[in-house]
């Protein structure tokens, strides 16, 4: 595996592969790799000649400085994992390499997707995500890029980014990878206390119960039901639970035929913020 930290070197390397008619698959990450990331990378390896993984903890998508500082950094272990799955190129740029002297986001209009859910609670988050993903796409020019559905809103926003800017890359959304007890895999899970980690399957269990109830209950009463479950739980603080249209990400009041819905949740387990979601049957 080649480890590259300069844009110029990466561009040269990609150009060579493109000249040899190789297809490029790309998996952007912020490191602290887990099985969820590896499943994206394995998909990319199956479908592309060359796979690039980036590890870059993007400062402009954090509105909470503490969260940025404490974001887990495990580059040595990540490098070993990537070598073990035969990743071709690891891109690990510095902040300066990406942003030069101006560590700031571009302002995007994602047709309202950015104002829902995470957008309401994480100021400027999607401008930061849009900025880094667009920058990485411009450097790497991948044929396909892989994103997990745990960050479903991010996935829809990236699809919108690609459409709006006519970027020539296919976006592949991949199923959420879960621990055996149901907790959605996330780099932040490693920061949970033992007590919170042991209790964390409650989140997915509640989502599954909500999915069952969606067959018979309306969205508003279901939202209230979930809110109550969390009010009763001593270890978690619910930030939001909502049922939204997959396309617009707007909270729904009534079900309509031929639409796809998902339940979305954000929860504080102590100081660690966890998100998850589940596809609902209409």
Two tokens, residue 237: 């603080």
| Alpha helices in the chain, H assignment, sequence order | 7-19, 35-47, 65-70, 75-84, 95-99, 118-121, 125-140, 152-164, 194-199, 201-213, 219-232
Q: Hey, how many other C-beta atoms are within 10 angstroms of the C-beta on 101? A: 6
Contact with ligand PAF (CB under 6 A): which of 29, 127, 242, 277?
29
Size of the residue set binding ligand PAF (CB under 6 A): 10
129 binding ligand PAF? (CB under 6 A): yes
Residue range at the interface with ligand PAF (CB under 6 A); choices 63-71, 97-105, 125-133, 223-231: 125-133
Rounded to a whole number of angstroms, the minimum distance from the CB of residue 57 to ligand PAF is 8
Cβ-based neighbours of 163, under 8 Å, separated by 6 or more: none
Q: Which of 37, 115, 166, 233 is catalytic?
A: 37
Distance of CA 261 to the CA centre of its chain: 19
Active site (annotated) includes residue 37: yes
Stretch that binds ligand PAF, among 44-52, 111-119, 129-137, 257-265 (CB under 6 A): 129-137
Does position 113 interact with ligand PAF (CB under 6 A)? The reply is no
44-73: contacts with ligand PAF (CB under 6 A): 58, 61
Under the binding rule (CB under 6 A), the answer on residue 185 touching ligand PAF is no
CA distances to 1, 11, 114, 206 from 82, in Å:
8, 20, 32, 34
Alpha-carbon span 81 to 78, nearest angstrom: 5
Q: Which of 151, 267, 275, 278 binds ligand PAF (CB under 6 A)?
A: 151
133 binds ligand PAF (CB under 6 A): yes
Which one of 27-35, 168-176, 245-253, 261-269 is the stretch in contact with ligand PAF (CB under 6 A)?
A: 27-35
Please give the positions annotated as active site: 37
């Amino acid at each position: 595996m080649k480890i590259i930290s300069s844009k110029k070197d990466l561009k040269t390397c990609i150009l060579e592969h493109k000249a040899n008619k190789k297809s490029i698959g790309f998996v952007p990450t912020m490191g602290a790799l887990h099985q969820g990331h590896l499943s994206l990378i394995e998909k990319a390896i199956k479908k592309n000649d060359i796979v690039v993984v980036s590890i870059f903890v993007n400062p402009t998508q954090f509105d909470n400085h503490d969260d940025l500082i404490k974001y887990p950094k495990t580059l040595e272990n990540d490098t070993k994992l990537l070598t073990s799955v035969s990743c071709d190129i690891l891109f690990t740029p510095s902040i300066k390499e990406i942003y030069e002297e101006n560590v700031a986001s571009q302002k995007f209009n994602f047709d309202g997707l950015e104002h829902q859910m995470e957008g309401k609670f994480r100021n400027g988050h999607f401008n930061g995500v849009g900025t880094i993903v667009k920058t990485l796409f411009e450097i790497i020019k991948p044929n396909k890029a892989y994103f997990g559905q745990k960050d479903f809103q991010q996935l829809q926003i990236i699809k919108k980014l690609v459409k709006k800017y006519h970027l020539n890359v296919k976006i592949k959304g991949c199923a959420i990878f879960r621990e055996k007890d149901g907790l959605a895999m996330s780099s932040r899970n490693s920061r949970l206390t033992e007590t919170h980690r042991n209790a964390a399957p409650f989140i997915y269990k509640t989502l599954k119960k909500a999915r069952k109830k969606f067959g018979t209950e309306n969205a508003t009463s279901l939202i209230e039901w979930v809110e109550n479950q969390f009010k009763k739980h001593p270890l978690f603080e619910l930030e939001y639970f909502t049922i939204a249209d997959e396309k617009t990400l707007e909270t729904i009041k009534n079900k309509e035929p031929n639409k796809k819905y998902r339940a979305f949740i954000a929860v504080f387990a102590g100081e660690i913020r966890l998100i998850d979601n589940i596809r609902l049957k209409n």
